[in-house]
Chain A
Amino acid sequence: MVGGRALGGRILRLYLPLTFFLVAMLFPFYWMAITSIKPNRELYSQRVMPLIVHQPTFKHYVDLFEQTNFLTWTYNTMLIAVVTTVVSLVLGVMIAYPLARLNFPGAAVVAIGVAATYLVPQPLLFIPMADIINRLDLGNTLSAVMLTYPTLLIPFCAWLLMGYFKSVPRELEEAARIDGASRLQAMLRVVLPLCTPGLLSAGIFAFTLAQNEFLYALIFLTKSEVRTVPVGAITELIRGDVFYWGQLMAAALLGSVPVAIIYSFFVDYYVAGLTAGSVKN
């Protein structure tokens, strides 16, 4: 019965715990999905078996599009995420490149400063930031968040990219410089193309971080037309004690889709970015 015992061990060590983790991690998404297509009479009944949908309906989705500014919120969220990701990637490259590959006075101070700003959490800054945005008269504009999100993303991109830039052999760059390329050309045409995976990782990560941001958006965007999906859902689909659960779940699911799609195409880059800081090559 050796085979039987081996199979038993495999079930115990692999399939059982794996199933547990998969169910525990994915159940909330399943719950989000089926809640969004349940009619209200099923949602608010304690007698109906809640784990499946008996009479699916798209009413919550229709209501979400017709009764709220969900499309505007989605547009705002995407616009903000794309703009801040591009800006942060460019500025992140410009910080990471000299720090990783060049010698200059002040390098150590800048490196420590970037690491520290990466680790300073938002809740330490949001109250003074709110006052600053107010004085700049940027309340209720997308500029307010486009200006503040990069404070979270630039240090992250710079930190991640430094690792990739360091891994490019110095000889390649030197050869290009001997052939007459300027420092800028050597960077743009030799080092950056070799670091495409790093740029992708940083970009995808920055994009998901921008989609995830909530605190600044909550404080700065108080008019419906300028809100992002998380802020819009929380402030307009919960009114006092009334929760529009069906629409909330529809919004949560649709709001997760852009990130999930990008993630599904670039899982490996995402994981590489996640582990770059913590695993030495």
Chain B
Amino acid sequence: MAVGPASVARPAPLAGRAASRRSLLERESVFSWVMLAPGVLFLLAFVAYPFFYGIFLSMQDRRVASAGTFVGLANFVAQAHDAVFWQVTRNTFVYTIVATLLKMVGGLAMALVINQQFRGRNLARAFLLLPFIVPTVLSTVAWMWILDPTFSVINWSLLHSGLVTQNFSWLGNATLAMVSIIMVNTWRGLPFYGITLLAGLQTISPDLYEAAAIDGASVTQRFRFITLPVLKPILIIVTMFSVIFTFSDFQLPYILTHGGPANATHVFATYAFDIGMSAGVLGMGAAVALAMLPALGALIVALTLYLRRE
């Protein structure tokens, strides 16, 4: 498919030009870049540009509807001297680490339970994944009502079973509010771990377990030497994904607690929103959001390299 013969075969000038344009398109690299161009340009304009513009904004004293002035690293310095910022940092890490551990352990348990043979297994799997597919804001609203200070069904059950004598203020107490957002995040994310790990478990041939059992391996040994090695790569990818999106979570704490009481559940995203959007101090808000970058950047680079290696 060279250019020459095609244009010789069609002497008419217009058809010739069309043919050579077509054979140009047949070149692997030309075709590839023509296909890529719209999507790549779009992502450059609406992901790469905002990203760098955010860095530019973070070095400005810039409020909504007014021009900004360059202030260098002043926004970051101001944050570093603000106790609330460090509280937000600690909150974000506590939220991410505890919720991730709970989802990991709970998800593994869920996968091991559904991996057994029983009637209605596919149906159970479909139902168990529901929390993950329903829009987060809508299910979090249901949780808000479950955790209502006066009409909480959890409180009602605890009171009426005689386990406690007074209502918990789930979202009004600093510690309980953190417990609550971690609980709801775990509820939502656990099925993601459960179903992906289940898919991993299903790739293990039952023969392998049988052979190991014949060789005298105990249940724990079988789990340790057969199940875990298969699940490890899946667990690494799922966990890194989940950590990235928990660390930068906005919806759930924003709906459930708005960062309260007294900043006890503010995470980077909700705090940046409060400063940048609610108060309209764009530059400072961008700086708070960028404070996520070191931890997030390390994770993103690690996961990108890991995915590429696969």
Contacts and interface: CB of A to CB of B under 8 A. Distances in A.
User: Do A and B originate from a single complex?
Assistant: yes
Interface of A: 13-14, 17-18, 21-22, 24-26, 28-29, 31-32, 35, 43-44, 46, 50-51, 91-92, 94-95, 97-99, 102-107, 110-117, 119-132, 147-148, 150-151, 154-155, 158, 182-184, 208, 211-212, 214-215, 219, 229-230, 233-234, 243, 245, 248-249, 251-253, 255-256, 259-260, 263-264, 267, 270-271, 274-275, 277-280
B128 interface: yes
A127 B289 contact: yes
Contacts of A148: 46
Interface of B: 22, 25-26, 28-29, 31-33, 35-36, 38-40, 42-43, 46-51, 53-54, 57, 109-110, 113-114, 116, 118, 122, 124-131, 133-139, 141-143, 145-146, 150-151, 153, 156, 187, 190-192, 194-196, 199-200, 203, 233-234, 237-238, 241, 244-245, 247-248, 250-251, 255, 268-269, 272-273, 276-277, 282, 285-286, 289-290, 292-293, 296, 299-300, 303-304, 307-308, 310
A233 B51 contact: no
Contacts of A117: 43, 47-48
Contacts of B118: 14, 18
Contacts of A106: 33
Given A28-B131, A128-B286, A229-B135, 15 more contacts: A13-B113, A28-B143, A31-B146, A50-B153, A94-B38, A119-B300, A123-B273, A127-B286, A130-B276, A183-B25, A184-B25, A214-B135, A249-B141, A252-B141, A252-B142
21 contacts: A18-B118, A25-B130, A29-B130, A46-B151, A50-B151, A91-B38, A94-B39, A119-B303, A123-B269, A123-B289, A123-B292, A127-B276, A130-B277, A132-B53, A148-B46, A154-B43, A208-B133, A230-B138, A249-B145, A267-B125, A274-B199
Contacts of A132: 49-50, 53
Nearest to B53: A128
Contacts of B151: 43-44, 46, 50
Contacts of A97: 35
A212 B268 contact: no
A40 B122 CA distance: 38
Contacts, number: 280
A29 B142 contact: yes
A26 B196 CA distance: 19
Nearest to B238: A278
B54 A105 contact: no
A89 B40 CA distance: 14
Contact of B32 (A29, A50, A104, A114): A104
Contacts of B113: 13-14, 17-18, 21
Q: Specify the main secondary structure of chain B where it touches its partner.
A: helix
B137 A125 contact: no
A121 B96 CA distance: 15
Nearest to A271: B195
A278 B50 contact: no
A154 B138 contact: no
B146 A28 contact: yes
